[in-house]
Structure 1
Amino acid sequence: MLKRFLFPTNPNGVFISVILLVVRIVFGILMMNHGIDKWANYQELSTVFPDPLGIGSPLSLGLAIFGELACSMAFIIGFLYRLAMIPMIFTMCVAFFIVHGNDPFAVKELAFVYLVVFVLMYIIGPGKFAVDRWISQSLSRK
């Protein structure tokens, strides 16, 4: 058991898929909390939210909420996984490089952590326990 844990030979195995599922759940819920907070305070935030893309504060806030809330839900269950991750990665890129671009690293560290995790999860994929896998399997049977 310890040997298999330390030196996994099957990267597509159940154990790795369980770890990927746990990462999706943990980081998805953490990101959702940011989106829920923005959504709950939309009225107050819509006038002061940063507008790094020049599209207006309300629309910038709406896109951030979409990336942090709606896409996090899809990320957690593994539905349209890589497509859902694009807004999440984009939102963290904007937060890290533009909104907090000149801030000390301690201020933008959280955006960086999310960005690294999301990029790695994008590359690795959702694992076996994802809605996309079940859809793919049912489509391949037909």
Structure 2
Amino acid sequence: MIYRFLFPTKFSHTGASAFLLALRVIFGVLLMNHGIQKWSNFQELSTMFPDPLGIGSSISLGLAIFGELVCSMGFIIGLLYRLAMIPMIFTMVIAFFVIHANDAFAVKELAFVYLAVFVLMYIAGPGKFSVDNFIGSKLEQRK
């Protein structure tokens, strides 16, 4: 039986969906913590938060909080999954390529890890353990 574990011949959609769910929960909660920290310190951060888009520090901070906190919630449960991921990916692109552009890689490594995971998960989709899959299944049954 150990050879089936070492040399699998069948792909498990349930296993892959469980893996995607675990990744959504882990990375969603981790990113959500960054958003909660920013939200909790909004007053202090709003005056000095980077403004890479030229729209003001407070608005830039609000957009970062939206991407890290609000969109993480949709990401975790798989609700409007790919739409929720767009602000998350955009936030990490700005963090990696703009805010930390001239920093050592060790400083911007976390933004890169999030960016890589989110792009790969965007491509993979939410899996069958998601609200989107539930809604999609119900819509298919109506046809």
Same fold (TM over 0.5): yes
TM-score (norm 1): 0.95
Aligned residue in 2 for 1:9:
10
Q: Structure 1 residue 141: deviation in Å?
A: 1.2
Matches for 1:21-36 after TM superposition, within 5 Å: 21-36=21-36
What amino acid sits opposite 1:24 in the alignment? R
| Counterpart for residue 74 of structure 2 | 74
Cα distance in 2 between the residues matched to 1:121 and 1:8:
24
Counterpart Cα distance in 2 of 1:24 and 1:38: 21
2:28 counterpart letter in structure 1 = G
**SS of equivalent residue, structure 1 residue 101:** coil
1:7 partner amino acid:
P
| 1:105 counterpart residue number | 105
Superposed displacement of residue 9, structure 1: 3.2
CA drift of 1:93 comes to 0.2
The TM-score with structure 2 as length reference comes to 0.94
Partner of 1:91: 91
Give the letter for the 2:121 counterpart.
M
- Residues 84-116 of structure 1, C-alpha deviations (whole Å, 9 max, x = no match): 000000000000000000000000000000000
Structure 1: where are the runs of 5+ without partners?
none
- How far, CA to CA, are the matches of 1:82 and 1:61 in structure 2? 22
Q: When the two structures are aligned, how many residues end up with a matched partner?
A: 141
Give the root-mean-square deviation of aligned CA atoms.
1.4
Whole-Å separation in 2 of the counterparts to 1:127 and 1:114: 19
When residues 52 and 76 of structure 1 are mapped into structure 2, their CA distance, relative to the original with a 3 A threshold, is same
Distance 1:130 1:111 in 2: 25
